[in-house]
Amino acid sequence: KNHIIIGAGILGASTAYKLAQEGENVTIIDRQEPGQATQAAAGIICPWISQRRNKAWYALVKAGAAYYPKLIQDLEKEGESDTGYAQVGALSLHSDGKKLDEMVKRAEKRKLDAPEIGEITRLSALEVQELFPPIAEGLEGVHVSGAARVDGAALKDALLRSAKRNGATIIYGDASIQIDDQGKSSILVDQTRYHADSIIVTAGAWADTLLAPLNIQFNVKAQKAQIVHLELQDQETSEWPVIMPQGDQYLLSFPDGQIVAGATHEDEVGFDERVTASGTLELLSKALTHAPGLSDASVKTVKVGFRPFTPNFLPVIGRLPGHPEILLANGLGASGLTMGPYIGSELAKMALVQDSSIDLSLYEISQAIE
């Protein structure tokens, strides 16, 4: 069968990878939006200690995190060693020890049906500093050994390379969906028209424009995020854990002194791709408050990406009402690197008319259609 995937972020790349592995005929179209969420994201995989109580959301992030180790192993077997993924553990920090004790309880409870969480360990401020030397003094923590970090751009590229090796084609261009008088859909990229048995829309924050010609008002909102990349000289940082301090900021470490501090949450600014003074100030001041030892790091770059949110901050997955040949997933929001590869594999199953391993009724697309 022929499948066309529109959008090569983490979701489209994962779907393409899976379908190509199954021997399907896959074409991926991407217009290389500079604000693609996936290229900006650097990438905490640690859903278990979140206080968010929405069960439908938790089911996706839990399954998403559990899906990773096998995926990475499979990619490595193919020779893809640069996936940007490492299970370095995560350290959640707080100045109030009681909050950390509650976190341990929450995590232990969730571990009962999520053994991938690994070891949950309460750490003193000194132990925290040993694991992450630049951190501020006096912060105790909870360490979760099963947590990981992933570089979204590196993983997406590895998935696309694998898909290509298995026969997929990538076209860089702006796609639109058209429906003819007989109700048959096709895809137009520049002047070329493509037909497919299934059209899979993984267009992130831009999906509404793609569906507008079908008279579908798709409710996706873009949330702008800025994220700063720092470099520490002469430090071996590849094994440093993900740091999740109090509040909405976090710090991730990659090999060769690379530290990533993110991210801003900017609503209602549209697709403004600029790095702003206030965004950079917020990122750096929070990073240095949490980790004063970063004050001498070099500033390498600030990236910008747009998180796609659908109503109630809950992803939607399924076939488009009235257009059964069009499949879509969207709304991966702030946890799309965690759940993206898993949802991609579910989308691939849907395109192959195989049974799903999730309760799809929780994520119906109609929830995001006005």
Closer CB to ligand FAD, 125 or 171, in the complex: 171
Interior/surface letters 197-211, b for 16+ CB within 10 angstroms, e for the rest: ebbbbbbbbbbbebb
| Amino acid making up residue 158 | A
- Answer yes or no whether residue 262 interacts with ligand FAD by CB under 6 A: yes
d(CA 113, CA 66): 11
- Answer yes or no whether residue 310 interacts with ligand FAD by CB under 6 A: no
CB-CB contact of 290 with 300 (8 Å): no
d(CA 26, CA 17): 9
**Per-residue binder mask for ligand FAD (CB under 6 A), 266-285, x = binder:** --------------------
- Answer yes or no whether residue 294 interacts with ligand FAD by CB under 6 A: no
Window contacting ligand FAD (CB under 6 A); options: 51-59, 71-79, 121-129, 326-334: 326-334
Taking each helix axis as running N to C, give the angle between helix 152-165 and helix 10-21, from 0 to 180 degrees, rounded to the nearest 10. 30
- Answer yes or no whether residue 141 interacts with ligand FAD by CB under 6 A: no
| Residue showing tokens 């070329």 | 192
- Answer yes or no whether residue 187 interacts with ligand FAD by CB under 6 A: no
- Answer yes or no whether residue 263 interacts with ligand FAD by CB under 6 A: yes
| Amino acid making up residue 205 | A
- Answer yes or no whether residue 8 interacts with ligand FAD by CB under 6 A: yes
Select from 66, 136, 288, 334 the one that contacts ligand FAD (CB under 6 A): 334
Preceding omega of 63 cis (within 30 degrees of 0): no
Structure-token pair, residue 264: 């801003």
Q: Could you give phi then psi for residue 102, rounded to 5 degrees? A: -65, -40
Q: How far apart are the first and last CA of the chain?
A: 32
- Answer yes or no whether residue 29 interacts with ligand FAD by CB under 6 A: yes
- Answer yes or no whether residue 6 interacts with ligand FAD by CB under 6 A: yes
Select from 3, 4, 5, 9 the one that contacts ligand FAD (CB under 6 A): 9
- Sign (positive/negative) of CA torsion 154, 57, 15, 268? negative
Closer CB to ligand FAD, 44 or 75, in the complex: 44
**Interface residues toward ligand FAD, by CB under 6 A:** 6-12, 29-33, 36-38, 40-41, 43-44, 152, 174-175, 202-206, 210, 225, 227, 262-263, 305, 307-308, 332-338, 340
